[in-house]
């Protein structure tokens, strides 16, 4: 028997509900937009969770953080709605503030316990050379939240009942084990990204489209579809004292 048979990789594509956790407005779309659109069209209940307010996301020295945050929240709401999310939750941590790990984890646990998703997704905190502190912290806090949310003894200050998540899907990963065919929803990813007008000028979107198009074709190579998004999908058992997870 193989270890992979003992600890199977959960089935992202057929999950009934998914909480999409992003450090900033636009990360879910960049990492998983076409997959989110596909799952929503298949009937999966999608919830968006944006952790920071995106308030430093501008190169204009005269832009006020509160104005940037307001615009980015509106853009995130539009993108989430377009991709089929039924709810968009905002935690409002300040952008780029090196958020405290336990505070982040507790905040995410509280949302998990209220929304009760089968799956969660977040950026892969184990991505080599990932130097953005919000991405490393939010990805790790999402995984920590998956471990703690079933335990009643882990207190958040909220009142929601404990809830166990079946799987976590890390996007923007260097160690993918799951490839979702997204030929039919590829354009939805870029339509959703186009709502982030404060972040992407048309020429930037064009460049992103070319880059991610090449990546998606590469992920689909040798398979019976043309475009794929890639994820490292794991169960809770993979997230603790498991020396095989890196190879799963």
Q: Which of 10, 23, 84, 139 binds Zn ion (CB under 5 A)?
A: 23
- Comparing every residue's Cβ against Zn ion, the nearest one is 24
CB 96 to Zn ion: min, Å: 10
CB 170 to Zn ion: min, Å: 14
Q: Which is nearer to Zn ion, 15 or 193 (CB)?
A: 193
When asked if residue 27 is in the footprint of Zn ion (CB under 5 A), the reply is yes
The distance in angstroms from the start CA to the end CA of the chain is: 15
Q: Which is nearer to Zn ion, 122 or 181 (CB)?
A: 122
Which stretches within 42-185 are classed as H helix? 65-83, 101-115, 133-148
CB 25 to Zn ion: min, Å: 8
CB 233 to Zn ion: min, Å: 21
When asked if residue 124 is in the footprint of Zn ion (CB under 5 A), the reply is no
Residue 195: CB atoms within 10 A of its CB come to 22
Name residues whose C-beta falls within 8 Å of residue 26's C-beta, 6 or more positions apart in sequence: 75, 76, 79, 193, 196, 199, 200
Q: Please provide the size of the chain in residues.
A: 248
Q: Which is nearer to Zn ion, 7 or 63 (CB)?
A: 63
Residue 229 three-state SS = strand
Q: Which is nearer to Zn ion, 27 or 118 (CB)?
A: 27
d(CA 126, CA 177): 14
> What angle, rounded to 10 degrees, do the helices at 27-41 and 186-194 form?
130
Site string for Zn ion, 93-122 (x = CB under 5 A): ------------------------------
DSSP state at residue 15 = -
């Amino acid at each position: 028997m193989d270890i992979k048979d003992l600890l199977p990789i959960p089935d992202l594509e057929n999950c009934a509900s998914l909480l999409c956790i992003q450090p900033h407005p636009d990360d879910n779309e960049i990492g998983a937009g076409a997959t989110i659109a596909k799952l929503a069209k298949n009937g999966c209940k999608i919830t968006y969770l944006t952790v920071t307010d995106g308030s430093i996301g501008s190169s204009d020295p005269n832009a006020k953080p509160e104005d940037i945050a307001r615009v980015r929240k509106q853009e995130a709401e539009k993108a989430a709605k377009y991709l089929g999310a039924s709810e968009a939750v905002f935690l409002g941590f300040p952008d780029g503030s090196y958020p405290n790990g336990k505070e982040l984890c507790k905040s995410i646990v509280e949302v998990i316990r209220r929304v009760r998703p089968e799956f969660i997704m977040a950026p892969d905190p184990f991505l080599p050379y990932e130097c953005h502190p919000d991405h490393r912290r939010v990805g790790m806090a999402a995984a920590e939240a998956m471990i703690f949310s079933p335990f009643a003894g882990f207190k958040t200050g909220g009142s929601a009942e404990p809830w166990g998540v079946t799987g976590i899907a890390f996007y923007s990963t260097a160690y993918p084990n799951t490839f979702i065919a997204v030929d039919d929803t590829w354009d939805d990813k870029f339509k959703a990204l186009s709502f982030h007008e404060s972040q992407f000028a048309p020429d930037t979107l064009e460049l992103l489209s070319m880059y991610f198009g090449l990546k998606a074709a590469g992920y689909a190579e040798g398979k019976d579809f043309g475009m794929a998004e890639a994820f490292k999908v794991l169960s809770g058992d993979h997230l603790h004292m498991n020396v095989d997870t890196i190879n799963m």
